[in-house]
Structure 1
């Protein structure tokens, strides 16, 4: 009881910005964060973020934070235009974070084409060793907690996002190849479920069954998450109810789009062409290259 009282007294003595986790000062960026976090007034926060950008006050953070708030307010198109228009004012170190916000904005507004272009660009940067500013890991934050992310994990995450974007376009063959590559690098239950969905959409039910069996047999990461496990169970039930044990089918592609013209070009360039011959490949792409022959499957 006495210990709790001491903590309360200590907290009361802490500065306002420490208690509320906002930056100190009186500039437009600080006012924006105060409106966003303390007053919980996102519209006012956006006004101050604009002022911060125009005044050159912590532009890196102001632009990123403003786009995030715009996304929360369903003003995604404005957020996209803001990043495109003002990212040139930001430092080189901020570009990766801005790309991540931009991908989220494209995803929310259903712009799969732009999302795919940007995700391919991020894969290219990883291949060239330019991701994480050349470092093997970076510090990320989720729900207020910091953790380390490796290049290997980031590659798998980007491939997973790329696969989901292809699903939104109805290109299940491209999505399948992406998810198989992502699973080779860093397997988890969620990506396995998405891979299963791609196979079902192509009428390849036997392969879909095998993917689901792997989830239970190997207890893939994420299996303990009820949402992912429930989805796996729903997919299994869908297969059982359909009674589909048909021979494997040759999948069809959307009209006007061929597999070679679209996705193979992406991964082949990531593996072979995007970096000069004398450049040192990152180890993760050496691992992917060992499975290159599977791309034609």
Structure 2
């Protein structure tokens, strides 16, 4: 009996390890089989069919709809994924609506549906303003690359504003993009939004303002500027900016101010002999006229 218990215990641990490694849930339901097809067999088409079965049978509908949309996006079937979410999100719980909106925003980006993206982002920001986001809580648990972390309302607001600013950039509405980016940076600044704001100002030919913001990233004054990727982007934008700046005046190169230059010119005029301000051709005509008079 002890040997049987030991072997069953080993089998259980091995089974647990399998599920942990592949991040596959337990059981044999349509949703579990869909996740197995997606993560273990690497067969996205089969996974979509099984996700559909899970939705139709009421098996983990929240997760099945979200996961199916993500797989469809990977297969360049984003339009179909948008239609699926729009049609079946009514079957999902209230708690899942926020995460479905986030998937929908990514799908709108993928399809180039900028107006729809802007409308959805505004709606999500309005929910925050009304105190309805995060199901009334101040933080929520998010997941990225398999890791869980806490997100505050403040961080979420800044993130959504950053996405909204980029959507306005795609529509070349740089004035609105600037307003939104500046609001985002006031709430929760980071180097990615700083670079986007710099780009927005460059597109408006406001080079000096853009230069200050981008140099702050390189000087490490903005959160996240310690990452090489962020610094490289800021440097690339500064290079682009300098390529469109007008060539500096000679006096600018010397570091001389306007008052000093004017004073120097006045002094030179005092030292130099008085010269006629007429063009040389008129001087020649005048002397010829004097000879005729004689």
TM-score band by shorter chain is 0.7 to 0.9
CA distance in 1, matches of 2:102, 2:241: 35
What is the aligned partner in structure 2 of residue 214 from structure 1?
216
Once the two structures are TM-superposed, the CA of residue 218 in structure 1 deviates from its matched residue by: 4.5
What TM-score, normalized to structure 1? 0.77
CA distance in 2, matches of 1:240, 1:189: 20
What is the aligned partner in structure 1 of residue 290 from structure 2?
none
CA distance in 2, matches of 1:207, 1:26: 59
What is the aligned partner in structure 2 of residue 127 from structure 1?
129
Compare CA radii of gyration and give the structure with the larger one. 2
User: Could you tell me whether the CA contact under 8 Å between 1:140 and 1:147 is conserved in 2?
Assistant: yes
CA distance in 2, matches of 1:170, 1:184: 23
CA distance in 1, matches of 2:86, 2:31: 20
| Distance change >3 Å, CA 14–CA 115, structure 1 → 2 | same
What TM-score, normalized to structure 2? 0.78
| Distance change >3 Å, CA 15–CA 200, structure 1 → 2 | closer
Which runs of at least 4 in structure 1 moved beyond 6 Å after TM superposition? none
Structure 1: give runs of 5+ residues left out of the alignment.
1-7, 247-297
Once the two structures are TM-superposed, the CA of residue 108 in structure 1 deviates from its matched residue by: 1.0
Indicate the SS of the match to 2:189.
coil
Counterparts in 2 of 1:257-272, with a 5 A limit?
A: none
Indicate the SS of the match to 1:184.
helix
CA distance in 1, matches of 2:148, 2:223: 20
| Distance change >3 Å, CA 39–CA 148, structure 1 → 2 | same
What do you get for the CA RMSD once the two structures are aligned?
Answer: 1.9
Counterparts in 2 of 1:173-188, with a 5 A limit?
A: 173-188=175-190
What is the aligned partner in structure 1 of residue 19 from structure 2?
17
Deviations 1:158-186 (A, max 9, x none): 00000010111111111111100000011
CA distance in 2, matches of 1:15, 1:194: 43
User: Could you tell me whether the CA contact under 8 Å between 2:218 and 2:235 is conserved in 1?
Assistant: no
Structure 2: give runs of 5+ residues left out of the alignment.
1-9, 249-294
Deviates more, 1:43-52 or 1:201-210: 201-210
Once the two structures are TM-superposed, the CA of residue 18 in structure 1 deviates from its matched residue by: 3.6
User: Could you tell me whether the CA contact under 8 Å between 1:205 and 1:245 is conserved in 2?
Assistant: no
Q: Which structure has the higher relative contact order (CA within 8 Å, separation 6+)?
A: 1
Indicate the SS of the match to 2:88.
helix
| Distance change >3 Å, CA 244–CA 189, structure 1 → 2 | farther
User: Could you tell me whether the CA contact under 8 Å between 2:207 and 2:245 is conserved in 1?
Assistant: no
CA distance in 2, matches of 1:164, 1:237: 21
Once the two structures are TM-superposed, the CA of residue 237 in structure 1 deviates from its matched residue by: 1.1
Among residues 86, 101, 104, which one is paired with 1:102 in the alignment?
A: 104
CA distance in 1, matches of 2:15, 2:77: 39
Counterparts in 2 of 1:137-152, with a 5 A limit?
A: 137-152=139-154
Among residues 29, 44, 48, which one is paired with 1:46 in the alignment?
A: 48
Indicate the SS of the match to 1:147.
strand
Give the number of aligned pairs. 239
